[in-house]
């Protein structure tokens, strides 16, 4: 039988493991992508992990990996921005707003 102290330690450990994931969206990026046969284009907004916020090459790699799952190819990384830029981009991104 586990002591109350052990159970509390397990709960706190689990909470500490989840908190970084909740705060992971330190920044966002807007991008343009394409898919061939037939040609389709989209503009999207994506949440980035903190490690990609200050590194455009890392941001491009992260976006390409995530959108590539659905057959999209990254054309351009438009910008990297904070939460204050989300509202103004939401309408233009449509279905691709925080989809990936």
- Domain, as residue range, for 31: 24-96
Domain assignment present for 79: yes
Domain assignment present for 66: yes
Domain assignment present for 29: yes
Kindly tell me if the per-residue pLDDT of 67 is higher than 90.
Answer: yes
Domain assignment present for 3: no
Q: What is the mean pLDDT of residues 73-80?
A: 98
- Predicted pLDDT at 23: 45
Instruction: Give the whole-number percent of the chain exceeding pLDDT 90.
Output: 74
| Spatial CA neighbour of 29 closest among 83, 92, 75 | 83
- Predicted pLDDT at 2: 52
How many structural domains comprise the chain? 1
CB neighbour list of residue 84: distance below 8 Å, 6 or more residues apart: none
pLDDT digits (tens, 9 = 90+) for 11-52: 444 434 433 443 446 899 999 999 999 999 999 999 999 999
Report the chain's C-alpha Rg in angstroms. Answer: 18
Q: Are 33 and 74 in contact (CB under 8 A)?
A: yes
- Predicted pLDDT at 16: 41
The pLDDT-based confidence of 8 (bands split at 50, 70, 90) is very low
Q: What does the alpha-carbon distance between residue 71 and residue 1 come to, in Å, rounded to a whole number?
A: 51
Domain assignment present for 17: no
Kindly tell me if the per-residue pLDDT of 55 is higher than 60.
Answer: yes
Domain assignment present for 19: no
Domain assignment present for 32: yes
Domain assignment present for 11: no
């Amino acid at each position: 039988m586990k002591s109350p102290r052990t159970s509390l330690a397990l709960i706190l450990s689990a909470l500490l493991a989840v908190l970084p994931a909740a705060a992971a969206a330190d920044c966002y990026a807007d991008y343009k992508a394409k898919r061939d046969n037939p040609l389709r284009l989209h503009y999207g907004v994506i949440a980035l992990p903190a490690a990609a916020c200050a590194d455009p090459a890392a941001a491009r790699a992260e976006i390409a990996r995530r959108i590539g799952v659905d057959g999209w190819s990254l054309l351009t990384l438009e910008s990297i921005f904070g939460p204050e830029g989300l509202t103004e981009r939401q309408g233009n991104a449509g279905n691709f707003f925080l989809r990936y």
